[in-house]
Amino acid sequence: MRILLIEDEQALREQLQSQLSTEGYVVDAAADGEEGLYFAREYPCDLAIVDLGLPDMSGMEVIQQLRKEGCSFPVLILTAMGRWQDKVEGLEAGADDYLVKPFQYEELLARSRALLRRASGWTQSTLSCGPLKLDLNRQEVTVNGQPVELTAFEYKLLEYFVMHAGEVLSKARLTDQLYAQDFERDSNTIEVFIGRLRKKIDPDGNIEPIQTIRGRGYKFMLARDEG
Amino acid sequence: MAQQYSIRWRLLLSAALMLVVFMGVTGWALDRAYQHSERISLNERLETRVYALMAVADLDKRGQLSMPERLTDERFNLPGSGLVAQINADSEALWQSASLMKDIPQLPESSLGELVIVDQANSAHDWFVASFRVAWEYAANQSRQLDFVVAEDQVFYAQKVANFRWQLVLWLGIATGVLLVLLLMMLHWALKPLNRVAVDIAQIESGVSNVLEEDYPKELLPLTKNINGMIAQARQQQERYRNALADLAHSLKTPLAVMQSSIQEGDEQKLIKVADEQTRRMRETVDYHLQRASTAGRGVLRKPIKIRPQLERLAESLNKVYAGQQIQLSIDISDEQAWPIDSGDLFELAGNLMDNAMKWAGSQVKVSVNSKDNFSCLVFEDDGSGVSESDIEKVLARGGRSDETVPGQGIGLAVVQDILAAYDGKLKIKRSELGGAKFVACFGFGG
């Protein structure tokens, strides 16, 4: 999953970027609205975390611009202004949720996960597709009730597949979800990760969760159990 | 910006202009009337003198004119007196008065028995002239045509008119001056209460007095009452700021003391935990007191605002935030419902209570109004687990004494209660027919 973070305060920006990266998210961190809009135009984004009090271009204007340009990903606003009037104005500008500064990192993470989940049409924090279950809070995966050990990258890849079940995902799109813009990209890496995921989730080849669509990419085949 | 003239200056200027116009028209009218009357009187005098001249004239049996040596009116006898007489026969002067020094201008031909008067003052005629042609019978069947002419120099008439005009201007000027002085005195008296308001407000600013007195003229009473209301409101706001600052300072000291004592203990693990707890507590305290200080409260000139649009904006925002919970939020309030409440206060109060209801609701939240007596209430209901009888007092008390609030407990309700207190209202918690809690926020004004 790729998160766009727009926060002008360097210490907080770097801290959040580091913490979210540890969680396995690819984070594009921008110090102002212009840079943030550039990232949003250049890279596929699943969630934006926007500080309202930005220099030059306010967070509210950034959100309005994003929506105007057709970006439909969820937006979480960070605001130092705790008044309801400010929250409502932020939400009316196009945001989906708000968090008043100072906040606990756990709360930011929980709200970000909820927004990502909701954007993919899931209503509960455990995503269930037939024999495969993915607990977003605990970041645990089970197949037929048996826990499956995955690395952080493998988990993030699977989570992205489940969130976009039924969609054809190109290699480039999957690469963007796993690597930040300044990383060296190797086109074989995704194939290697998908090969490992298939082995771990479906060692006997019974459920075949990820199908290769020749020349186009991959598709998660297991149907959702709910929402 | 255009210069703003004072009320006194505006009234004085307009009254002075009006006076000048009025006096000008009056002077012109009096001048016209005087000249008209003077001309009539002059004509009558000339006519009388023509008849008097005829009375003293005589023709003998040969038709020769005889006149007395001196005439009764001395001005006829005095050269240069300006009043002259002449008797003509066939355009030839038969007799001239002693006062005549230059010729009387030629008159238009008149018919027999007709009195002709020329009283047009112009450069061609510097005389006012009256002429009467008669056929004088001096013997049987013997008569002679005679023209009796009397003239008065226009200079005398012009002097008279000039004198009158000078007197007129003098007295009208004096009258205008007196009226202006009276007007100034009247304005001073009429505007005295306004000056008093300014002086009284200056005294309030300098701290000499607290409010404007109540003994102003009835036209000013609504103004002074509203000013007093605004002063009281500003004082309340100041008091709120002062209290909020004092409470903030007071309530920040406790967590600071807790952290200081943990530092002294030297247990790093414990310090991290304590610092985390206490900074959270400090954050909520700061939020609460800032909100409390910014509450606008009841205002004397507060314009009623429609509450449904504000609540709908809140509802739409909260529907976004709670999108995953499938809660049905309904607002049962008419479009016309308008209350004299600050928009920020309404947002804050309704935001907290609506957010609370959404948080605890199962699937339904309802917002409505209930107005009775002198209270207008916003009612927030949900179908959650509700607040038990025993907890109601605790929840309200915790909100009421929020400077002692511990993290996560009742900051929102404390804010709600403070806002309601600023409107002489109160918060009640009941059981809703929907099954959950019913928060009734009552403002101290009629609906």
What is the residue-averaged pLDDT of chain A? 87
A20 Cα to chain B: minimum distance (Å): 20
For residues A146-158, give the mean pLDDT.
Answer: 87
Whether residue B320 and residue A96 make contact (CB cut-off 8 A), yes or no, is yes
Largest separation between any pair of C-alpha atoms in chain A: 57
pLDDT-derived band at A105 (thresholds 50, 70, 90) equals confident
Residue A84 to residue B351, Cβ atoms within 8 A: yes
How wide is the angle at C-alpha B439 spanned by C-alphas B434 and B440, nearest 5°?
Answer: 115
pLDDT at residue B404, rounded to an integer: 45
Interfacial residues of B (vs A; Cβ cutoff 8 Å)? 279-280, 283, 287, 290-291, 294, 313-314, 316-317, 320-321, 323-324, 326, 343-344, 347-348, 350-352
Which residues fall within 8 angstroms of residue B145, CB to CB, at 6 or more apart?
A: B89, B90, B112, B133, B134, B135, B136
Q: B321 to chain A: which residues are within 8 Å by CB? A: 91, 96-98
Tokens at B224, concatenated: 């002074």
User: Residue A181 pLDDT > 70, yes or no?
Assistant: no
Residue B80's pLDDT is what? 82
Cβ within 8 Å, pair B291-A102: no
pLDDT by residue for chain B (447 residues), tens digit each? 556 788 888 888 898 899 999 999 999 999 999 999 998 998 899 999 999 999 999 888 888 888 998 888 899 999 888 889 999 888 788 899 988 887 666 666 677 888 888 776 555 557 888 889 988 888 888 888 888 999 888 888 888 899 999 999 999 999 999 998 998 899 889 888 888 888 888 888 888 888 888 788 888 888 888 888 888 888 877 887 887 788 788 778 878 888 887 888 788 888 888 888 888 888 878 877 877 777 777 666 677 889 999 999 999 999 988 887 889 999 999 998 999 888 888 998 999 999 989 988 989 999 999 988 888 999 999 998 888 888 887 777 755 443 444 334 457 788 888 889 888 898 999 888 899 999 999 998 876
Give residue ranges of A with CB < 8 Å to any B CB.
82-85, 87-88, 91-92, 95-98, 100, 102, 104, 114, 117-118, 123
- Residues of chain B with Cβ-Cβ distance to A84 below 8 Å are 314, 347-348, 350-352
pLDDT for B237 equals 79
Helix, strand, coil share (%) of chain B residues, nearest 5: 55, 20, 25
Report CA-CA distances (Å) from B26 to B12, B31, B34, B168: 21, 9, 12, 10
When CB atoms are compared, the residue of A82, A92, A97 closest to B287 is A82
Query: Could you give the strand order of the β-sheet that contains B92-96, starting from the edge strand earlier in sequence?
Result: B92-96, B83-89, B142-153, B127-139, B115-118
- The confidence score (pLDDT) of residue B182 equals 92
pLDDT value, residue B403: 41
Interface probe with B: pick from A67, A81, A84, A123, most Cβ of B within 10 Å: A84
| pLDDT given at position B400 | 45
Q: What pLDDT does residue B367 have? A: 95
| Three-state DSSP state, B71 | coil
Q: Angle at the Cα of A188 (from A182 to A193), degrees rounded to 5?
A: 90
Chain A: residue nearest B281 by CA?
Answer: A102
| Facing A84 at nearest CB: one of B314, B323, B324 | B314
* Interface predicted TM-score (ipTM): 0.73
State mean pLDDT over A79-97.
86
Alpha-carbon torsion angle B46, B48, B52, B53, nearest 10: 30
Q: How far is A122 from chain B (nearest CA, A)?
A: 8
Q: Are B150 and B49 in contact (CB under 8 A)?
A: yes
Q: Is the pLDDT of residue A179 over 90?
A: no
A-to-B residue pairs, Cβ atoms closer than 8 angstroms:
49
* Residue in A with minimal Cα distance to B284: A102
Chain B residue with the nearest C-alpha to that of A112: B321
> What is the chain B residue with the closest CA to A88?
B317
